[in-house]
Amino acid sequence: MWMCADENGGLRDGDRDHLVAMKICKSARSVSEQAMDEIKLLEAINKEGSADADKETNCAKLLNHFWHSGPNGKHKCLIFGVLGENLLALVKHTDYKGLPIGWVKKIAIDTLRGLAHMHSRDVIHTDIKLENVLINRHDLKEVKVEAE
């Protein structure tokens, strides 16, 4: 994943320099097919027009996707809202000594809400692990200032 600035304001009305996360997939056919499957699942999870479309779903938000052709082939690029580190990085940061119980409760509740939302859209997450649980950044404004 790469943190990028949407310099054209194409993802949000007039919000130039909006930070986004970009996932660039390898050009191999099998990886491109996986990316297309991922897009279908993310679109199902974040489907507009539902009663909970504006509600926090605790799921990654796919904002856009496009193809990029380069010297190493055609790559599918997925654009997401910026989140933070994954849970494994947080556990490593504490030298595997554990997290405060309040954090554990919050992370568990938010993760279960995300899984419940996926289930409500008939999507089953089959790879739940520390690397796949992302933590929201509390310092996004500071990150944007540093990026300028």
What are the catalytic residues?
Answer: 127
DSSP code for 138 = S
- Please give the Cα distance from 144 to 148 (Å, whole number): 7
Whether 117 and 52 have beta carbons less than 8 Å apart is answered as yes
- Please give the Cα distance from 82 to 95 (Å, whole number): 25
Locate 138 and state its tokens: 């509390």
